[in-house]
Every structure is written in C-alpha cells, then in structure tokens.
Amino acid sequence: MREFDGKVAVVTGGSLGIGRAVVERLAADGAEVVFCGVEDDAVRAAEEESRERGHRVTGVVADVTDAAAMRDLVALAVERHGGLDTLVTSAGVQRYGTVEDTSEELWDEVLSVNLKGVFLACRAAVPALRARGGGTIVTVSSVQAFASQRGVAAYTASKAAINGLTRAIALDHAADGIRANVVCPGSVETPMLRWAADLFRGQTPREEQIAEWGRAHPLGRVARAAEVAEVVAFLAGPRSSFVTGAEHRVDGGLLARNPAALPET
C-alpha cells in the first residue's frame, strides 16, 4: 500500500506554488485531496492536470479569510470522501513595508490571509480530525519566523505567529490524537518568488535575481516546491508519529550561517 491510501487531505493554497506541490505529493501517494485557491483559472488548471495523472483531487475557489468557506471546504472533504485525516495550510501572501510605512489595510490583508486563514482552516478541521480518531495538521510558515529581512514587518509577524499557533494546536489537541507541525522554507521557486524578483530586480533578468537569492543559501540555490512538499508529506504521514509541536526548517542551510564571516587566511 502507498503511504496515504485511504487517507483524505485538505490543502489550502493548493493551486499554486508549495501548496500545489503538496497536493501532487499527497495524491501521488494515494490520498484523496480537496484543495482551494482564490483564482478560478489556476484552480481548474491544477485540478485538471492532477486528474490527468490519475489523482483523486477536487479543487474549489475559496477564501481562507472566510470562516464559512473554510467550514465548507472541510465539509466537502468529509461528505465526498468520508472523513478527514490531514490538513495542510499553504495559502499566503507576501507584502513589503516597515511598521512606519505599512498601512493598516496592508497589515490587515497580510495578517488576515497568512494567520487568520490558518486559524480558520484549523478550527474547521479539528472536529473532523477528532471524529476520525486523530490526524495531522501541517502549517507552512517561513524562515522569516526566525530571522527577518528588512521591510517585511507584516509578513514576518504573520509567520512568527503561525509558528506559535501551531505549537498551541499541538498541545491543545494532542489528547485528540492530532499532531501539528510547522514547515519553514527558505527561498522557493514559486509564483510568489518570481513576483518578488520582478519587484526588486531592476534591470537584472528575473532568473539572475532568483539565482542571486539562491546563492545566499549554503546549498547555492533556491528550493524546488517539491522539496518542501516532501517534508510536508513526512509530517502528514505515519513516519512522523512521535513528532508534534515542532518547527522544521527547509532552507538549504540559510539559518545555519553566521553572517559575520571569518577573514580569508
């Protein structure tokens, strides 16, 4: 049997980037996956391409900041597949600004999508996971939960809060047989990273800007979304049965490096 045969997963942000890679990874290993995104074309394309590979997936357009939408997303998985075993929260936005120049509207947008969206999805999923006798929650955060860049005040705050929320969920629901862990990627080749590269590259070609960011990682490149999805799958499955409340960096060694380098000898 494959690792996720007979298992049901819900993935938020599953039409693009890391979320889409997670949908593909879980479905390829046997899971029945219900995922959401906010752009109809992206959702339909992701669903069609996955089904062409023989995967059992369902994509819906849903806003993670809408409590009713998150309840409906979980209910769809339960009604269509008989229960829920795994929730992965991958929906997120990146915005830039210091606390001085970040507007309240931008702050609210980032915290609503990145943090409230995780809260609402988890709140909807916990009863379904409990009814199944337990399950797993994997939240997608960032290395910026630990070490920030300049000019990302709202984003960094949201990612640090996801880590704290995940720990709280792990403690509160351990007795329900629910494990919760958080994955913290470094730079990953996704539409969000390409958008950021276009924002900051000036006259530099996009691919060179991304490569420059990759060189900041000791492994010398940015991650592939599928590499992050592998860690998510491990945490979602039975091989990590004694792992909960933990933060897992998938950053190519980025945070292992002390920027105060010794002089060359």
**Number of neighbouring beta carbons within 10 Å of residue 66:** 15
Active-site option among 120, 155, 187, 235:
155
Give dist(CA 8, CA 131) in Å, integer. Answer: 13
Q: What is the DSSP string of 70-130?
A: HHHHHHHHHHHHS---EEEE-------B-TTT--HHHHHHHHIIIIIHHHHHHHHHHHHHH
Q: 232 with 25: CB under 8 angstroms? A: yes
**Number of neighbouring beta carbons within 10 Å of residue 121:** 30
Give dist(CA 76, CA 211) in Å, integer. Answer: 40
Q: 218 with 143: CB under 8 angstroms? A: no
Helices (H), the chain: 17-28, 40-52, 67-81, 104-111, 117-131, 153-172, 191-200, 206-215, 225-236
Q: Is residue 96 annotated as a catalytic residue, yes or no? A: no
Give dist(CA 89, CA 180) in Å, integer. Answer: 11
Catalytic machinery residues? 155
